């Protein structure tokens, strides 16, 4: 009679040594397998052959040197080596797994056998009082159970306290949040009435898009150097060819270069800079700005406002919205616009939506589109593709023929889209060249300029292709290539890049007069009351009377180059020069009171 | 006294309690079966699959699967393939030349085979043993082509985890449980 | 050449946001009409494991359970149980890679009960219920030799170290809490944490995340010296089987005959499940404090449940973070305030955020709904935690009534190790003669628990 597991026999004793050796060897093998797997995994994780930065760098280099055959061979060799090392890695994992499994199983088996030879038979000892032991045991167990329970409760409480979430918890809050995200007006103030829109200068070339304001600023002449006739003047730090816009007592403009794009607001009364916000961290925007010709720059597009927010777009494709007091609302990257000179189409707004004419590339590329973003949320309200090439004209939104229409120029076409859903309403195929002058709406006609070619008037009540039926008149004398036409509703004024100012009758297209301003002009002129302001590229300002007969009122030198079109409100004129922003007007004490139209 | 007589009342009470609880547990299990019978699909079990319309080709399929390499592979829906010479799933953006050189291929493991069929058509096949499910080709094909390359869970590889670890991190929320009788999303026409 | 685009436009295209490029692609290039006799290959669709094989699994499970019950209660054969364990380990473990296993099945059942879009597969229901029903009749026969997790730990046990019973009993509430947590999160469709933190599935697959494999390795290394650490301290399904086993019709008996109190079996159980006979004094002095404690604990139980439920309902904010929808919504809303730094290359995160931006209202609504449901479930989960704590404290305040050395009904895994430790059993199977057994018992000091009480 023996206990079953004593190493009693010689055979068992002989087994002990080799068994012990097996236990050690298999244990070491298993440990080695684990170590190898861990090290390999760590190294593969740090240098994933399939994410090799060297290969990416070589491929990038090939873009610059497309004919470098040696480089190609280098890429192929490296690619092959990397793929080989990837496959070696997978094979090694497979090998390591089986090595680990095999060695572990042998270890457990030999260790168990070894342990069995070493096992001692049970030798029960006389135990003290079982009842007392039991009582002590359950007391301790109650203590550990209570401790575990307490730890659990403390942990749960800590989790409850620590957990915070941007997701609102109360039942009503999600509704508000959803409303905000949907852009619904729960607490959102309603859009300002149209009258207020008309009293401000909410976009490029004013509320109606024809650069007209009924009240002319006083005095007639002004000078940047001396400050004569100016209410204020501030210098600008950020470059940009965009024109200022005005809402209430704020002037907004954007500026930027490859390094930084920003939006700034100035006080209309004092010129004091109220806020400036950089447009950064736009999701998806490339870290390295694209190359944009300096003649256009990153901030050629004029901003727009709906009276609640201001919107700005930059040539790198960033679109941003801010509240009037400068709080960022949303920003989006629309992809870098493919535009040889840089994106310059200004923004338009309509019923709380911001409209982006994103024309780019060739007509065949199908990249161009017209997008309406919800102003509150930045969500795309609608977007329509446009089979047109890149363009530089700004869209206008007009109420005509009982429809809200977005008038756009690009390539060979004047195209009107429905403002509600972007559907195309009508088109005229009569443009040529690089389309920079923007369309205007005057005297019931859409006026469009084919650069250096002709001015045409189109009745906006057509549907479909209306080239043959709706073009009312043409004019082909003194046609600009960059600046847009302007109008007071009765007369149309055009100024060419070399300074020839022409006046046409809007209803007939008959040329009434022309005037040589004798300066190069890059900025669209403006009509204020009875005056036409022509702002020259070198700072020469020519003021003529907005009348059927030519009458020059003044010619003087501002002293600073001008590339942007002026903005007006309440008898004040805000001009952006190359270096500064200045305001023409008389101080409030002597100002002639309210001037809303 | 080595076999102390058990306290008969205590034992029978415990016995009774135990019997009663067992009976209650059995009744509970029966009730549970009855209750769940309405919620049980005798003929169905579920497997994981990717809805290609929701896939945003984020690349998580290659890294998040419990299997290395992943059980998700790219598949080719030949029916909707354009057989393009310049295949946006096969070639990198701005390819140097339209050939099979490593510098032109988007696939990091060269798992796509390009085969000339007739001018100007090329057939593209996925070599599944090499595919790691990184979706680089899927992105090119879906965004600029017909979308004939798309990711699917391959059920000869998938171990069908109770909780798919890719589904947990899927950027497009494209993973779902589908009946095992119909385990693939088949693209017959592009959407 | 069939060029898609002028090549110079490619970078621009790649730069466009997917949303703007049009997430849905049309048939941009009509499939060609071939002039040669080219036959178009078909898309291959390797099928998943067939339903028939799932039924085979179920049948194997039932057979293995029956066999285990027979081996435990009729054959009383440790060797048979080891053989069955090896089979279960190989088949349910390494071949079937532990999926679907009963341990995770409560989650499927819970999800099926509460998610109308998910019907419980019959096999999952069977895997959940059959071992439970078996436990009501024959104890934890599933744990004994059918569960691959248990089999793996049981088979690798080399030198068991005794874990003090008071630690084990104190930590015994953890599996129950884990079970409640798993069911709560699964029922709300939040996560399958029982599967996520399963220690051994990655080992069975010989593949998986570093975390999963490391967890498995740690538990396996511990299992060399601590008997079944996962089963004892974590397994949520084991918690259910424990309850079933407590009221089971048949329980493991160490001796086939009568207990001679020789104590030879006392240390044969590596899981600390064998309890010695104890008879507590029945004097008023001893009884009064025990009764008082019991009364207090029973009165405290509803308070614990209510407190736990209240605390549980507050857990929804934290728990919801595990749900992918909520996690994305929170990331999106947090990003609303502080926009993420711009990067040129999209990452999975930016792509997910892009989707969030496109579907924000739906996403927020879905996330709020998940949290609401977790809040409701949280009451139940918290209540369950309170109940588990209270019930454990009550059970630790009850008087035992044991006259023989016998396994604790709940803790016994029916592994059969103790059988051959009993001289009477050795006589029964013919290993030794009754005389040898008597001699063995004579070596053992026989305590007299009944007379040593004070």
On whether the CB atoms of residues C389 and A145 are closer than 8 A, the answer is yes
C25–B143 CB contact, under 8 Å: yes
The backbone torsions φ and ψ at residue A322, rounded to the nearest 5 degrees and listed phi first, read -130, 155
Query: What's the rounded Cα separation, in Å, for the pair A532 and A522?
Result: 15
In a shared domain, residues A476 and A391 = yes
User: Chain C residues with CB inside 8 Å of B7's CB?
Assistant: 401
Does residue C229 belong to the interface with chain A, where contact is any CB pair within 8 Å?
no
| Angle formed by the axes of helices C173-187 and C105-114, nearest 10° | 40
Query: What's the rounded Cα separation, in Å, for the pair C442 and C448?
Result: 14
Overall residue count recorded for chain A in this entry: 597
Which pLDDT value is given to residue B46?
86
User: Chain B residues with CB inside 8 Å of C346's CB?
Assistant: 58
Tens of pLDDT, residue by residue over A500-530, are 999 999 988 899 999 998 888 989 999 998 9
Name the 3-class secondary structure at C336: helix
Query: What's the rounded Cα separation, in Å, for the pair A191 and A196?
Result: 10
User: Chain C residues with CB inside 8 Å of A124's CB?
Assistant: 262-264, 266-267, 444-445
In a shared domain, residues A366 and A463 = yes
* Among A118, A145, A178, residue at a domain's last position: A118
On whether the CB atoms of residues B190 and B80 are closer than 8 A, the answer is yes
Instruction: Give the β-pairing of A464-465 and A424-429.
Output: parallel
Q: Which helix (H) or strand (E) holds C318?
A: helix C316-320
User: Chain A residues with CB inside 8 Å of B96's CB?
Assistant: 62, 66, 72
Does residue C340 belong to the interface with chain A, where contact is any CB pair within 8 Å?
yes
Name the 3-class secondary structure at C204: helix
Sign of the alpha-carbon torsion through A426, A432, A437, A440: negative
Does residue B69 belong to the interface with chain A, where contact is any CB pair within 8 Å?
yes
Query: What's the rounded Cα separation, in Å, for the pair C64 and C70?
Result: 10
User: Chain B residues with CB inside 8 Å of A94's CB?
Assistant: none
Closest chain C CA to residue A332: C17
Which domain range does residue A52 map to? Answer: 10-118
The two structure tokens encoding residue C193: 């944490």
Q: pTM (2 decimals)?
A: 0.68
CATH number for A283:
2.130.10.10
In a shared domain, residues A109 and A212 = no
In the DSSP assignment, the letter for residue C31 is P
A287–C330 CB contact, under 8 Å: no
Name the 3-class secondary structure at A397: strand
C247–B171 CB contact, under 8 Å: no
Nearest to A129 among C421, C444, C454 (CB): C454
Least Cα separation, residue C66 to chain A (angstroms): 28
Query: What's the rounded Cα separation, in Å, for the pair C300 and C292?
Result: 12
Q: With 90 as the cut, is the pLDDT of residue A457 above it?
A: yes
In a shared domain, residues A434 and A289 = yes
Query: What's the rounded Cα separation, in Å, for the pair A478 and A534?
Result: 15
Alpha carbon C390 to its chain centroid, in Å, reads: 22
Region A237-247 average pLDDT: 89
User: Chain C residues with CB inside 8 Å of A33's CB?
Assistant: none
Does residue C427 belong to the interface with chain A, where contact is any CB pair within 8 Å?
no
Q: Tokens 């084991």 label which residue?
A: C238
In a shared domain, residues A216 and A113 = no
On whether the CB atoms of residues A437 and A449 are closer than 8 A, the answer is yes
Q: Which residues of chain C from 386 to 415 reach within 8 Å of chain B, CB to CB?
A: 401, 403
C344–A147 CB contact, under 8 Å: no
A287–C421 CB contact, under 8 Å: no
* Among A118, A151, A181, residue at a domain's last position: A118
Least Cα separation, residue A40 to chain B (angstroms): 14
Closest chain A CA to residue B110: A83
Name the 3-class secondary structure at C423: helix
Q: With 90 as the cut, is the pLDDT of residue B154 above it?
A: yes
Residue C117 makes CB contacts below 8 A (sequence gap 6+) with: none
Query: What's the rounded Cα separation, in Å, for the pair C238 and C103?
Result: 8
Which pLDDT value is given to residue A181?
62
Least Cα separation, residue B11 to chain C (angstroms): 8
* Burial class, A235, CB count within 10 angstroms (exposed 0-12 / middle 13-18 / buried 19+): exposed
On whether the CB atoms of residues C365 and C185 are closer than 8 A, the answer is no
Tens of pLDDT, residue by residue over A152-181, are 999 999 999 998 888 876 555 556 666 666
Is A166 part of a structural domain of the chain? no
The backbone torsions φ and ψ at residue A446, rounded to the nearest 5 degrees and listed phi first, read -90, 125
A286–C350 CB contact, under 8 Å: no
| pLDDT averaged per 10 residues in sequence order, chain C, 454 residues | 40 38 56 87 89 90 96 93 96 86 91 85 89 94 94 93 89 94 95 92 90 93 94 95 93 87 86 87 86 94 96 93 92 63 67 82 86 94 96 90 86 92 89 86 55 36
User: Chain C residues with CB inside 8 Å of B82's CB?
Assistant: 2, 28-32
Query: What's the rounded Cα separation, in Å, for the pair C132 and C394?
Result: 24
The backbone torsions φ and ψ at residue C263, rounded to the nearest 5 degrees and listed phi first, read 65, 10
DSSP string, A431-449: --S---SPPEEETTEEEEE
Residue B121 makes CB contacts below 8 A (sequence gap 6+) with: B83, B85, C32, C34
Closest chain B CA to residue C346: B58
Alpha helix (H) residue ranges in A410-480: 467-470
Tens of pLDDT, residue by residue over C381-400, are 999 999 999 999 999 998 88
Query: What's the rounded Cα separation, in Å, for the pair A525 and A493?
Result: 8
On whether the CB atoms of residues C67 and C86 are closer than 8 A, the answer is no
Which pLDDT value is given to residue A285?
80
The backbone torsions φ and ψ at residue A441, rounded to the nearest 5 degrees and listed phi first, read -125, 115
Nearest to A1 among C357, C361, C432 (CB): C432
Please state, in angstroms and as integers, the Cα–Cα distance from residue C378 to each residue in A542, C84, C174, C242, C310, following that order: 77, 40, 17, 24, 8
Nearest to C20 among A127, A129, A335 (CB): A335
Nearest to A178 among C177, C267, C361 (CB): C361
Does residue C32 belong to the interface with chain B, where contact is any CB pair within 8 Å?
yes
Query: What's the rounded Cα separation, in Å, for the pair C368 and C366?
Result: 5
Identify the chains in contact with C, defined as 3+ C-beta pairs within 8 A: A, B
Which pLDDT value is given to residue C399?
86
Q: How confident is residue B36, by pLDDT bands cut at 50, 70 and 90?
A: confident
Which pLDDT value is given to residue C453?
35
Least Cα separation, residue A62 to chain C (angstroms): 15
Which pLDDT value is given to residue B167?
94
On whether the CB atoms of residues C244 and C408 are closer than 8 A, the answer is no
Region A1-23 average pLDDT: 67
Identify the chains in contact with B, defined as 3+ C-beta pairs within 8 A: A, C
Which pLDDT value is given to residue A132?
86
Query: What's the rounded Cα separation, in Å, for the pair B45 and C124?
Result: 9
Query: What's the rounded Cα separation, in Å, for the pair A98 and C301?
Result: 52
A144–C421 CB contact, under 8 Å: no
Which pLDDT value is given to residue C239?
95
In the DSSP assignment, the letter for residue C74 is I
Mutate to test the interface with A, among B102, B105, B106, B111 (most CBs of A within 10 A): B102
Tens of pLDDT, residue by residue over A122-148, are 777 666 688 888 888 899 999 999 999
Mutate to test the interface with A, among C18, C90, C95, C165 (most CBs of A within 10 A): C165
Does residue A262 belong to the interface with chain C, where contact is any CB pair within 8 Å?
no
A75–B108 CB contact, under 8 Å: no
The highest-confidence range among A198-207, A216-225, C12-21, by mean pLDDT, is A198-207
Q: Which residues of chain C from 162 to 221 reach within 8 Å of chain A, CB to CB?
A: 164-167, 169-174, 177, 206-207, 210, 217
Which pLDDT value is given to residue A173?
59
| CA-atom Rg of chain A in angstroms | 39
Least Cα separation, residue B135 to chain C (angstroms): 12
Query: What's the rounded Cα separation, in Å, for the pair B175 and B177?
Result: 7
Nearest to A137 among C165, C280, C361 (CB): C165
On whether the CB atoms of residues A430 and A414 are closer than 8 A, the answer is yes
Tens of pLDDT, residue by residue over B58-117, are 999 999 999 888 999 999 999 999 999 999 999 998 888 999 999 999 999 999 999 999
Domain boundaries, chain B: 7-40, 46-179
B96–A72 CB contact, under 8 Å: yes
| Number of independent structural domains in chain A | 2
Mutate to test the interface with C, among B153, B171, B177, B191 (most CBs of C within 10 A): B171
The two structure tokens encoding residue A144: 């550990």
In a shared domain, residues A339 and A434 = yes
Does residue C209 belong to the interface with chain B, where contact is any CB pair within 8 Å?
yes
Tell me the average pLDDT of chain B.
87
C247–B66 CB contact, under 8 Å: no
Does residue C238 belong to the interface with chain B, where contact is any CB pair within 8 Å?
no
Instruction: Give the β-pairing of A440-442 and A424-429.
Output: unpaired
Question: Bridge-partner residues for B151, per DSSP?
Answer: B74
Is A17 part of a structural domain of the chain? yes
Least Cα separation, residue A183 to chain C (angstroms): 10
* Burial class, A195, CB count within 10 angstroms (exposed 0-12 / middle 13-18 / buried 19+): exposed
Nearest Cα neighbor of C415 from C65, C85, C60, C62 is C85
Tens of pLDDT, residue by residue over A534-555, are 998 888 899 999 999 889 888 9
């Amino acid at each position: 009679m023996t206990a079953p597991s004593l190493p009693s026999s010689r055979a068992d004793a002989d087994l002990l040594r080799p068994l012990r050796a097996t236990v050690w060897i298999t244990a070491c093998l298993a440990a080695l397998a684990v170590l190898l797997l861990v090290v390999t995994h760590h190294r593969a994780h740090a240098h994933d052959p399939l994410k090799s930065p060297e290969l990416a760098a070589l491929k990038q280099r090939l873009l610059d040197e497309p004919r470098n055959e040696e480089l190609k061979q280098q890429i192929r060799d490296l690619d092959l080596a990397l793929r080989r090392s990837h496959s070696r890695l997978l094979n090694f994992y497979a090998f390591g797994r089986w090595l680990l499994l095999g060695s572990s199983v042998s270890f457990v088996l030999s260790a168990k056998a070894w342990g069995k030879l070493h096992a001692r038979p049970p030798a029960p000892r006389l135990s003290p009082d079982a009842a007392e032991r039991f009582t002590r045991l359950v007391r301790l167990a109650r203590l550990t159970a209570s401790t575990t329970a307490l730890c659990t409760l403390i942990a749960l409480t800590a989790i409850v306290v620590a957990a915070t979430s941007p997701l609102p918890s109360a039942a009503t809050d999600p509704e508000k949040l959803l409303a905000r995200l949907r852009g619904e007006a729960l607490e959102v103030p309603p859009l300002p009435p149209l009258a207020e829109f008309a009293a401000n200068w909410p976009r490029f070339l004013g509320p109606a898009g024809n650069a007209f304001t009924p009240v002319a600023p006083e005095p007639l002449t002004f000078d940047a150097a001396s400050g004569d006739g100016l209410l204020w003047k501030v210098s600008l730090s950020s470059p940009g060819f965009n024109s200022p816009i005005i809402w209430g007592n704020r002037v907004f403009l954007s500026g930027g270069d490859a390094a930084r794009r920003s939006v700034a607001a100035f006080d209309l009364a004092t010129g004091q800079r109220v806020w400036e916000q950089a447009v950064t961290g736009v999701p998806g925007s490339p870290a390295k700005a694209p190359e944009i010709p300096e003649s256009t720059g990153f901030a050629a597009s004029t901003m727009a406002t709906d009276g609640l927010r201001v919107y700005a777009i930059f040539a790198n494709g960033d679109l941003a919205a801010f509240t009037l007091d400068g709080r960022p609302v949303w920003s989006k990257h629309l992809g870098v616009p493919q535009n040889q000179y840089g994106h310059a189409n200004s923004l338009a707004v309509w019923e709380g939506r911001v409209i982006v004419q994103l024309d780019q590339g060739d007509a065949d590329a199908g990249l161009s589109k017209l997008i309406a973003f919800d102003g509150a949320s930045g969500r795309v309200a609608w977007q329509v593709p446009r089979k047109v090439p890149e363009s530089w004209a700004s869209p206008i939104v007009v109420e005509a023929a009982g429809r809200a229409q977005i008038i756009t120029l690009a390539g060979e076409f004047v195209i009107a889209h429905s403002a509600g859903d972007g559907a195309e309403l009508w088109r005229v195929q009569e443009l040529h060249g690089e389309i920079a002058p923007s369309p205007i709406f005057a005297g019931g006609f859409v006026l469009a300029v084919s650069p250096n070619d002709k001015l045409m008037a189109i009745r906006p009540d057509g549907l479909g292709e209306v080239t043959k039926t709706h073009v009312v008149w043409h004019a082909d004398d003194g046609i600009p290539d960059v600046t847009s036409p302007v109008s007071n509703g009765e007369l149309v004024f055009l100024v060419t890049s070399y300074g020839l100012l022409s006046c046409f009758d809007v209803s007939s297209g008959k040329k009434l007069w022309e005037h040589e301003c004798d300066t190069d002009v890059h900025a669209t002129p403006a009509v204020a009351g009875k005056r036409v302001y022509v702002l020259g590229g070198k700072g020469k300002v020519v003021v003529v009377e907005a009348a059927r007969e030519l009458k020059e009122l003044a010619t003087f030198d501002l002293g600073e180059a001008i590339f942007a079109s002026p903005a007006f409100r309440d008898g004040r004129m805000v001009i952006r020069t190359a270096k500064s922003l200045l305001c023409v007007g008389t101080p409030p004490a002597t100002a002639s009171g309210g001037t809303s139209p | 006294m080595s076999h102390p007589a058990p306290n008969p009342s205590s034992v029978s009470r415990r016995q009774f309690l135990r019997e009663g609880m067992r009976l209650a547990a059995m009744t509970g299990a029966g009730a549970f079966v009855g209750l769940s019978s309405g919620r049980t699909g005798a003929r169905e079990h579920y497997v994981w699959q990717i809805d290609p319309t929701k896939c945003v080709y984020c690349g998580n399929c290659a890294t998040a699967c419990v299997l290395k390499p992943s059980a998700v592979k790219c598949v080719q829906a030949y029916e909707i393939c354009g057989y393009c010479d310049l295949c946006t799933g096969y070639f990198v953006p701005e390819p140097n030349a339209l050939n099979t050189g490593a510098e032109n291929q988007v696939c990091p493991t060269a798992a796509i085979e390009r085969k000339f069929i007739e001018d100007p058509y090329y057939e593209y096949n996925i070599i599944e043993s090499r595919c790691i499910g990184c979706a680089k080709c899927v992105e090119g094909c879906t965004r600029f082509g017909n979308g004939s390359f798309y990711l699917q869970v391959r059920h000869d590889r998938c171990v069908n985890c109770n909780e798919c670890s890719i589904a947990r991190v899927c950027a497009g929320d494209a993973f779902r449980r589908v009946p095992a009788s119909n385990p693939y999303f088949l693209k017959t026409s592009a959407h | 050449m069939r060029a898609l685009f002028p090549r110079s436009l490619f970078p621009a295209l790649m730069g466009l946001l997917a949303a703007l490029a049009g997430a849905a692609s049309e048939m941009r290039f009509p499939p060609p009409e071939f002039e040669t006799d080219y036959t178009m290959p078909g898309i291959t669709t390797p099928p998943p494991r067939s339903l028939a094989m799932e039924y085979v699994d179920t049948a194997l499970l039932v057979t293995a359970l029956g066999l285990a019950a027979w081996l435990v209660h009729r054959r009383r054969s440790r060797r048979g149980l080891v053989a069955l364990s090896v089979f279960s380990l190989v088949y349910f473990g390494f071949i079937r890679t532990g999926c679907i296993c009963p341990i995770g099945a409560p989650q499927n059942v819970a999800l099926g009960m509460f998610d109308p879009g998910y019907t419980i597969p019959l096999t999952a229901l069977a895997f959940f219920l059959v071992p439970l029903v078996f436990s009501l009749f024959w104890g934890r026969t599933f744990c004994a030799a059918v569960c691959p997790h248990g089999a793996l730990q049981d088979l690798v046990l080399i030198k068991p170290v005794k874990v003090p019973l008071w630690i084990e009993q104190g930590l015994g509430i953890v599996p129950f809490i884990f079970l409640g947590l798993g069911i709560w999160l699964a029922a709300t469709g939040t996560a399958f944490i029982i599967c996520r933190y399963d220690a051994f599935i990655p080992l069975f697959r010989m593949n998986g995340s570093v975390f999963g494999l490391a967890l498995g390795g740690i538990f396996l290394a511990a299992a060399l010296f601590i008997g079944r650490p996962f089963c004892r301290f974590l397994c949520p399904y084991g918690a259910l089987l424990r309850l079933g086993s407590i009221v089971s019709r048949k329980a493991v008996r160490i001796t086939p005959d009568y207990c001679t109190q020789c104590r030879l079996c006392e240390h044969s159980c590596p899981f600390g499940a064998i309890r010695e006979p104890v008879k507590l004094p029945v004097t008023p002095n001893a009884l009064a404090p025990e009764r008082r404690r019991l009364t207090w604990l029973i009165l405290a139980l509803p308070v614990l449940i209510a407190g736990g439920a209240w605390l549980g309902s507050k857990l929804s904010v934290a728990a919801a973070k595990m749900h992918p929808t909520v996690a994305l919504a929170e990331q999106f809303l947090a990003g609303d305030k502080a926009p993420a730094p711009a990067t040129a290359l999209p990452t999975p995160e930016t792509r997910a955020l892009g989707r969030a931006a496109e579907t924000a209202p739906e996403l927020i609504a879905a996330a709020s709904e998940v949290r609401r449901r977790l809040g409701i479930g949280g009451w139940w989960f918290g209540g369950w935690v309170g109940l588990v704590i209270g019930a454990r404290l009550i059970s630790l305040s009850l008087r035992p009534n044991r006259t023989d050395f016998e396994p604790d009904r709940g803790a016994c895994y029916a592994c059969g190790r103790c059988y051959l430790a009993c001289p009477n059993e050795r006589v029964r199977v013919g290993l030794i003669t009754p005389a040898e057994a008597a001699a063995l018992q004579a070596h053992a000091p026989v305590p007299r628990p009944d007379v040593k009480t004070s």
